[in-house]
Amino acid sequence: MSSATEQAKKEVMRRIRRSRSPKKVIKTFFHYMFLTVVTAIFFAPIAYMLIGSLKPTAEVLDGINGFVPKNLSFNNYLQVFATFNDESMGFLWRFYTNSILVSFVIVFGGLIVNSMIAYALARLRWRGRDAVQVLVILLVILPFEAIAIPLFFLLRDFRNTYFVQFLPFIASAFSIYLFYTFFIGLPLEIQESARIDGAGPWRIYRAIIIPMSKPVFASVTILSFLGAWSSFLFPLMMVDNPLYVPLPLEIQVYFTQPPTDWGPIFAFGVILVLPVMAVFLLFQRWFIQSVAASAIKG
Partner 1 sequence: MTNTQLQTTVCKQKNHIIVKLRKVIRLKLKKISAVAGSIAALTLGLGVMAPAHASGAQEITVWAMCSETGEIAAAREQVAAFNGYYEGDYHATLTCKADMGTAVKSTSVDQLPSVFEFDGENLAAYVYAGKLKQLDGLVPASVFSNELVSIQAEGTYKDGHKYSVSQYDSGLGLYGSKKKLAAAGIKDVPTTWSKAWTASRFTQVLSALAAKAPGKKALDIKENYGMGPGWPGYAFTPIVNSAGYQIVTNGKAVGSLDNAKVVSAFKTFASWKKYVDPSADDKAFENGRVGLAWVGHWQYPAFSKALGKDLVVLPLPNFGAGTKSGQGSHSWGIGKNSAGTELAAANVFLQYIMQDKWILNVTDQNGAVPATKTALNKSVNYRKGGALQLYADQLAASCGTATPTAKCVTVPRTISAAWPVINTAFGTAMQTIWNGGDAKTALHTAAVTIDQDNTDHSGY
Partner 2 sequence: MAKAKKSKFGQDNLVGVLMSLPGLILLTLFVIVPFITAIYLSFFNVDFNMVQGPQFWGLEQYRRILVDPITSPIFYKALMNNMTFALIVVPAQTGLAVLLAVMLNAKLKGIAFFRTFFFMPVVFPMSLVAIIWALMFSRDSMGMLNGLLNLFSFGYIQPIDWLGDPNIALLSIALLSIWAGVGFQMVIVLAGLQEIPAELYEAASLDRANFWQRFWNVTVPGLRNTLIFVIIITTIFSLRLFDQVFILTKGGPIDATQTVMYQAVTSAFIEGNVGRASAITVIFVLIIIAITLLQRLVLRQNREVK
Task: Report the interface residues with partner 1, using CB under 8 A.
Answer: 86-90, 97, 101, 104-105, 152, 154-159, 161-164, 166-167, 237, 240-243, 253, 256-259
CB closer to partner 2 out of 33 and 87: 33
Instruction: Name which position in 7, 11, 13, 206 contacts partner 2 (CB under 8 A).
Output: 13
Contact pattern from residue 129 through residue 158 relative to partner 2, giving x for each residue in contact according to CB under 8 A and a dash for the rest: x--x--xx--x-xxx-xxxxxxxxxx----
Least Å distance, CB 145 to partner 2, is: 5
Q: What are phi and psi of 220, to 5 degrees?
A: -65, -40
User: Of 102, 176, 209, 245, which one interacts with partner 2 (CB under 8 A)?
Assistant: 176
Q: Rule CB under 8 A: is residue 108 a binding residue for partner 2?
A: no
Q: What is the dihedral of CA 138, 141, 147, 151, to 10 degrees?
A: 70
The residue within the footprint of partner 2, chosen from 244, 247, 264, 267 (CB under 8 A), is: 247
- The CA distance from 228 to 86, in Å, is 26
AA identity, residue 17: R
Positions 199 through 218 that interact with partner 2 (CB under 8 A)? 200-202, 205
Contact 48, 64 (CB under 8 A): no
* Contact pick of 89, 100, 210, 237 for partner 2 (by CB under 8 A): 237
Whose Cβ is closer to partner 2: residue 87's or residue 235's? 235
User: Least CB distance from residue 94 to partner 1, whole Å?
Assistant: 8
